[in-house]
Chain A
């Protein structure tokens, strides 16, 4: 019978669409642990992990339409041309990066990364930028911090907001035909001297280290020019790659939705069957209790519960279960009331079978297809419930759920700032998942409802 149900489901158009979406979501869930490092999930809220990404960058494919925005550039040690020379016991190591600037907009920011090992005398770092118009800007010239240790490993990144960089820019005011005080270094470095627009061409950016003894070496080097576009889904204010959040959110949402639905429907099923089968006083009392539960204001109580007991995902699942079995209990009870008067049930009772056996052997199997339908229909509610809780700031803070993404977007005022890529995808995923389960549930319900089929015949 269960097999027939599946075939019927796939045959109907709605059911087929629903199943296809679920298969897609399952594929996405499988991608998550296979292709995306598990670290990105554990360290979702750790800004250090995401620091090499650009800040609030739009998805890269927006460049296909509209103006060509600056694409993120992240260069490592291997990308640099290394020139080293030594004179008078001073070793000069020069790492030269070449960048071909063709986009219509400036980078969002820049970072120079380095790691150096040295002894008593700290090396000196000089950063130069040679521009297509043959101007040479020295943006940074400073020694690394000195230390008393014989062997220090020092690792740092120089941001575009660095004070030294800003001050260094002022000495080039005479080159520019407009006041440079209003512009950030990342704009000035790549700007035409006549007007603040991008100067296209090839730039040579060199990080030059002056090493004063033999034990000093440069371990690692890097250059990051923060893009205005990045990745499939862009990034948020904390430089997190949103595609990672969207993909990791999928298995979590499915897990929450299915667990809550299966358990709450099971509770409702058993509660309803007992009430309906026993009838009379038991039924009356149980339905009164059900009415009271039904009328409880879910959201305020959910808020109270999460404030008191904490925000772990399992607690949230428990709370959601607690508030979503009542509807099923009501429906199941009304059907069980009728089934118990069917002849085969009465026959079983007359044969002396125990109530428990009648319920589990003769009544519940009749109700199973309908139960599947109810499970599917109540999945969206559970997902929406968790999303709502996360959105008001009571979700599990350690997980990147879709609701959590939207919460972060809302606290960062993403909507008034027009950061659509932070808002649209998580909501679409919530809706898509809800839609899939709703379609399946709806189809199952019309196939499997025993009373409705009876009426048709």
Chain B
């Protein structure tokens, strides 16, 4: 497959998955969302009655007025239809894609807006900040450490790294997060236990405060994943180092160091990229929960709180956004795979 075709194919696949997820979301939560919208509409009608100070003879008349008004409005918005009619499903998918999900019942942004889109967009950058920073750090540490231990196969360092990788794979990352709070916040008092910055976003020191509060979550995310990263790098590198062409290079006298870092790493690149794409995908879920443990003001915390309060619009919005982030991550690693793979480049 050529580069262009691969790209096209991958993007097609990505949109298919996105659409499938949206479809499942809408099918699952459509009826609940309908119910919530009708409820919101009823409140709106009652508000209007109170404001216009309409007079009614008795409460029954008032109730019948509300119901009539509600029916009228439901019809215009299509809420009286079954949640599963095709046109409705289509509109709902569109509204999820544009995050047009109405208002949240329990959450507001720092500036007081309760619009679901505003709330989510306020949180996304913070999640991305934490997730990308930790991913970058882990990538660098993983590649350097993995290459180092691959060059010393069978040494103490190598064994230590393997054991560490197995252990860090067995522990849930959010549990490690709790332990980190216990050690660094409760016992040693180095970092704050709650990662929500104290100063308000308009302060000039806000960025510094944010970074200081980010330290502990960041360290945790790095600790839980760099071991398995290094292990993956080491595994594929050693496989490559046993190939004939490496032996050939060694016999012409290319230094061991150069073989390891240049020839070995480049050839091991593609499989490493694939393995990493998968581990990234799974660590994204884990980092969302880790966020909730640290109270880091990102999507994960919002997710955790929204589930606790059963705020459906927020949950739907977050599911959509995290799916997008997840797919884009996989897409990027896929592309880098294609770029790294010499066979694809050649054709």
Q: Which A residues contact B (CB, under 8 angstroms)? A: 291-292, 295-301, 303-305, 307-308, 380, 384, 387-388, 391-394, 406, 409-410, 414-418, 420, 423-424, 426-427, 430-432, 434-435, 438-439
Contact = CB atoms under 8 A, between A and B. Distances in A.
A77 B237 CA distance: 72
B304 A438 contact: no
Nearest to A291: B13
A285 to B, nearest CB: 13
Contacts of B319: 297, 300-301, 303-304
A392 B307 contact: yes
Interface bin, chain B? 35 or more
Given A308-B29, A415-B178, A423-B179, A434 B13 contact: no
A25 to B, nearest CB: 14
A392 B299 CA distance: 13
Nearest to B319: A300
B28 A300 contact: no
Contacts of A427: 171-172, 175-176, 178-179
14 contacts: A297-B322, A298-B282, A299-B322, A307-B307, A308-B29, A392-B304, A415-B185, A416-B194, A418-B186, A420-B182, A423-B178, A423-B182, A427-B179, A430-B170
B169 interface: yes
A392 B178 contact: no
A241 to B, nearest CB: 21
A98 B323 CA distance: 65
A305 B28 contact: yes
A291 B12 CA distance: 12
Given A415-B178, A415-B181, A416-B186, A297 B171 contact: no
Is chain B's binding surface mostly helix, strand, loop or mixed? Answer: helix
Given A423-B179, A431-B167, A297 B13 contact: no
Given A305-B28, A415-B179, A434-B171, 6 more contacts: A297-B284, A299-B322, A384-B172, A406-B178, A414-B178, A418-B182
B280 to A, nearest CB: 12
A343 B13 CA distance: 37
A300 B181 CA distance: 26
A455 to B, nearest CB: 12
Nearest to B20: A292
B171 A304 contact: no
A416 B193 contact: yes
Contacts of A305: 28
A295 B28 contact: no
Contacts of B17: 292, 295-296
Nearest to B193: A416
Interface stretch (B72-80, B84-92, B285-293, B336-344): B285-293
Contacts of A418: 182, 186-187
The 8 closest A-B pairs by CB, nearest first: A299-B285, A416-B193, A427-B175, A434-B170, A415-B181, A418-B186, A300-B319, A431-B170
Contact of A299 (B13, B288, B293): B288
A292 B13 contact: yes
A423 B319 CA distance: 29
B330 A295 contact: yes
